[in-house]
Amino acid sequence: MTEETMTEETMTLDVTRYRPGHDRAPRTQSFTVPYRKDWVVLDALNHIKDRIDGTLSYRWSCRMGVCGSCGMMVNGVPKLTCAAFLRDYRPGPIRVEPLANFPVIRDLVIALDDFMEKLRRVKPWIIRAVEKPVSDGEYLQTPAQLDAYKQFSMCINCMLCYAACPVYGLEPAFVGPAAIALAYRYNLDSRDEGYRLREPVLSEAVGVWECTFVGECSVVCPKGVDPAAAIQRSKLAGATDWLLSMIMPWGGRR
Amino acid sequence: MTVPRVERPGLFYPKLPATWWLRNANYFRFMLRELSSVFIAVFLVVFLVQLHRLPQGPGAYAAYLETLRAPGWIIFHVVALAFALYHSVTWFNLTGVVQVVRLGERQVPPWLVAGSSFALWAVVSVVLLWFLLRG
C-alpha cells in the first residue's frame, strides 16, 4: 500500500488511432500508463482500454505468444505486443502502430483477408494422391523426417514477417514470407504428395521470385521459422526442377 | 502482370515511402548490396574496354592504362573493390542458409557450408594470385 502513495513511475504510449468514416488518415494519440516491470505493451493497451479510453480497438487473445493475434509495430518494429516488455523501452515514449503494409480497419486493427487468401492458395495441409482409409492407420514418420520440416511448422500466422517485408509493402500481390514458408513446410513433409499442386503458386512472378532476400522477415519472426531461408530454398528447388525438366523432359521433375 | 489491388472503402491503405530503406540497418545493408551490382557492372565495362584495347597494339593499351591512373578512376576502383568484397562476403554467408547439405540422415551445419565456400574462395584467389604474380 505504501508503494501506491509514492509517486508512481509512468510511461507514455503514442498510439495510432483511425476511425473509419471519420478520419482521412490515422493520427496519433498519447496515453500515460503506469509503469510495471512485468507489463508488456499489450498490458498497457488493456489498461488504456479499461481505464482511459474504451474506444481503443486492437486484437489480442492468448497473451502468451501462441495465438499470433497481437502483432503491432512497436517503435517501428513488428512485434507480438504480448512479448514486448515496457522495461525494454524505458524511459519511452513507445510508439504503437498497426502492423505495417496492411490496410487499417480501425485504430490498431488491420485487414487479414489478403493473408488468409494467400494462405489458402498455397494449400497448407497434407495432400495425398490417394487417401488411405482410416482403418489402415496413421501415416508414419521417422524423427529425421519430422526434423526436415519442423522449424517451418512453428509458424503462428502472426504476419509480423509481412509487416517487415518491403517487397510486400511495394507489391501487395506478393505471396509473401509466411505463406511460402508453410507451402515449403508441406512440400518437405514425407507424408505429403501435393508438391505439384503448390508449385504453380510458388513459381509465378509474385511467388518466390518476387523475393529479393532482404531477410527482415526472419529477423522479426517470433518463432524462429526463418521464412527467408524457406523462400530461397524454394527458389533453388524450383530452378533445379526446371533444369531437370529441360534435360529430361520425359520425367525428371518431382 | 499483377492485378492492382481493389481498395475497399473505409479502410486506410498505407503507402511505403521511397525512403523505406533508411528505416533500419538491415534494410540499408540490403540496399548497399543491391547498389554494389552497379559498381561491379561499371567495373566490368571498364575491363571489357581494356580487353578491347589489347589487340589494338601496345600504344593504345598503354594509353588506356594511363587514363585509368587518373585519381578519379583509382577512387572508383577502390570503391568498386569494397563493394565487390561486401557482395562476395554476404553471398557466401548466405550459402549456408540457402543450400541444405545432407550427409546421410544428418544435415551439415550451415556455418560449415558457408565456411567451405569461403575456403574454396580463398584457394581460388591464391591460385589466381600465384598465376598473375609469378612472372
Q: Fold for domain A113-247?
A: Fumarate Reductase Iron-sulfur Protein; Chain B, domain 2 (1.10.1060)
ipTM of this predicted structure: 0.85
Select from B11, B21, B94 the Cβ nearest to the Cβ of A105. Answer: B11
Q: In 10 A of CB A140, how many CB atoms?
A: 8
Does B21-133 carry CATH code 1.20.1300.10?
yes
Pairing of the two strands A104-106 and A94-97: unpaired
Asked if residue A253 has pLDDT above 70, the reply is: no
Domain positions in chain A are: 2-110, 113-247
**Contact by Cβ (8 Å): A167, A211:** yes
Confidence of residue A242 (pLDDT cuts 50, 70, 90): confident
- Which run of H or E residues covers position B102? strand B102-103
Q: What angle do CA B22, B27, B28 make, to 5 degrees?
A: 60
Domain A2-110 has CATH 3.10.20.30: yes
Cis-peptide, bond into residue A91, ω within 30° of zero: yes
Residue of B nearest to A144 (CA): B105
Q: Where are the domains of chain B?
A: 21-133
Task: Give me the residue label for grid cell 516488455.
Answer: A85
Per-residue model confidence as pLDDT tens digits over B79-116: 999 999 999 999 898 888 888 888 777 788 888 889 99
Instruction: For strands A71-74 and A77-80, give the pairing.
Output: antiparallel
- The model's pLDDT over A53-95, given as tens digits with 9 standing for 90+, comes to 999 999 999 999 999 999 999 999 999 999 999 999 999 899 9
- List the single residue in A104, A147, A171 with the smallest CB-CB distance to B12: A104
Question: CB distance B5–A111 less than 8 Å?
Answer: no
CA distance A219 to chain B (A): 9
Which residues have C-beta within 8 Å of that of residue B80, sequence separation ≥ 6? Answer: B39, B40, B42, B43
- Which of B21, B26, B97 lies closest to A232 in CB terms? B97
A interface mutation test: which of B5, B8, B11, B19 has the most A CBs within 10 A? B11
Grid cell, residue A56, equals 481503443
Phi and psi (nearest 5°) for A70? -100, 25
pLDDT bracket for residue B1 (50, 70, 90): very low
Tell me whether residues A77 and B3 touch, CB distance under 8 A.
no
Q: At CB < 8 Å, which residues of chain A contact B?
A: 18, 20-21, 23, 25-26, 76-77, 100-105, 111, 114, 144, 147, 166, 169-173, 205-206, 212-216, 219, 226, 228-229, 232-233, 236
